Structure 1
């Protein structure tokens, strides 16, 4: 991983407030990226206990081939358990709040962070559901505050959702995107709306799946099998817009019309799709769609797709079935 250094060439200093499963994992990511990372929690004892846990976890991850050799030594050098929040954040350039999803607890924690942190320190929240604008109230200089949402388990999930509120500065967003990149992750910036993007998509799928079970159309086990082995099989490589472009937006438009015979409101054709079809922009076969992949690159894209799917199946075969049952 890339060594994290500040503009003066010295090691960057970060803090994670909330050292449990999510916060601890985020601290591992940042520390393995080269930063000096303070852990803080409700007490020095809890922070110290979680520091020890993270080192033991790292040893196991190294033994399992999930972390590179030497990772525990890096964490031992770069992580430290602070006596309290104030000590952890006092000289940190970036502070990630990762306490429980309770507005009052987050407000209390963010107020302490804001009061003790440098005025130019960037403050992030790992919230997955609470409005960033609602969280920003206790933060002095709210232009340096935003959502920085890692996913569970954070050492192994590569994506980070970055959520500025209306008052977040563009410089703050840029700083966080670079921090995420230097930590070996990928970021996507989304607006501060209910559910943000990640959870709106995740819960929309779950909602439809739950209805199919409730209506006895399929069992939970069979639905999971279909998701894993059909459209979900594509998702590590292509998002929904790339998949639609490759399938053909005219095909999607027709499928929406079929779904509307039974569910006219729930599956109303999205205006964005309808407008593209009306304009003759049907995806990769016309060289224009949601992502505008040039038509001449379609053979290259298809070759990549086929290679990716075969590699994914080989990986699954090598891993064997998940120990769910």
Structure 2
């Protein structure tokens, strides 16, 4: 990728605006392309509303200490709202186009087909869909080797993660370029296969449904359940990844806990997947054996644990829960 390439966002909704903020903050010029034909007065209203929201977003970031008030107008000036009549020129001059039209398959395919024609063969095209698989969309694209999914999590300008999902025809070099671009603006891209729910939505759907089910069953009040998530579940997984956490405690603990939960609650949804038992049979318990889901061979385990525990302490300070010892 060349230095600070021009970015296009297809669609002037929340996702397009959030992506525009992220790239403008990092020094890129951004064109938010309105793909709907509108009367001039209606386009002017949309433009004012979109730029107004972007300005408010930068203002909130200034209040959070992420920029200075004096920087706001400079950043807003990097974003322009482009009417449908000028879409071709804007898309053609962009290095990458992020599609953010509504989550309707036919609408997305129609918009992507039209955008790929207007843009010409060079720009990379990425859908930001949260539900539709890349290969359900790629056939609409001229030169589908330049197409992939890039799933941002809201708010796009704050959440670091972007899930990058290449399709069967995606050129690996395109995936690498998109990762490089995202890393260049401070994002953390991860590559995942074309699978429903990607990574985070698939895991959080299970967690959210289980939390709702526990309220329904009277296990805890909504207030206490959310407190448990914030100060227990979320606290730990802000430092340790889920698989890292399995290795930290030992895959055998999860194996036996899953057996008990499956029996006690009489529900197979708590059963451990085969890989947990297979790892145990192969001696891949985690930190204790030097390998689990991750490989710890040659790692200074004491220093590693110290670093993770130090990160927990930093979170305690963030939550203002750290108290001095009682002497």
Unaligned 5+ segments in structure 1 are 1-5, 319-325
Asked whether the 8 Å contact 1:91–1:118 carries over to 2, the reply is no
1:20 maps to what in 2?
Answer: 13
SS of residue paired to 2:240: coil
TM-superposed CA distance for 1:78, in Å, is 2.2
1:168 maps to what in 2?
Answer: 170
The size of the alignment, in residue pairs, is: 311
**What does 1:29-40 align with in structure 2 at a 5 Å threshold?**
29-40=22-33
2:51 maps to what in 1?
Answer: 51
Separation in structure 1 between the aligned mates of residue 60 and residue 160 of structure 2, nearest angstrom: 20
1:47-104 Cα shifts (integer Å, max 9, x gaps): 4531232123213321331335654244234222212233431211100011221222
SS of residue paired to 2:156: coil
1:185-240 Cα shifts (integer Å, max 9, x gaps): 01001111111222111101112222212222222222211111112211122111
What is the TM-score normalised by the length of structure 2?
A: 0.89
Given candidates 258, 261, 264, the residue that maps to 1:259 is 261
2:325 maps to what in 1?
Answer: none
Separation in structure 2 between the aligned mates of residue 57 and residue 271 of structure 1, nearest angstrom: 46
Instruction: Please say which of residues 42-51 and 160-169 is displaced more in the overlay.
Output: 42-51
**What does 1:70-89 align with in structure 2 at a 5 Å threshold?**
71-84=71-84, 85-89=87-91
Structure 2 vs 1, CA of residues 241 and 58 (structure 1 numbering), >3 Å: closer, same or farther?
same
What is the TM-score normalised by the length of structure 1?
A: 0.89
1:253-293 Cα shifts (integer Å, max 9, x gaps): 11112112133522222211111111222111111111112
Separation in structure 2 between the aligned mates of residue 60 and residue 229 of structure 1, nearest angstrom: 26
1:272 correspondence with 2:312 = no
Separation in structure 2 between the aligned mates of residue 169 and residue 72 of structure 1, nearest angstrom: 37
1:133 correspondence with 2:126 = no
Unaligned 5+ segments in structure 2 are 322-327
Separation in structure 2 between the aligned mates of residue 157 and residue 187 of structure 1, nearest angstrom: 11
2:324 maps to what in 1?
Answer: none
Structure 2 vs 1, CA of residues 136 and 271 (structure 1 numbering), >3 Å: closer, same or farther?
same
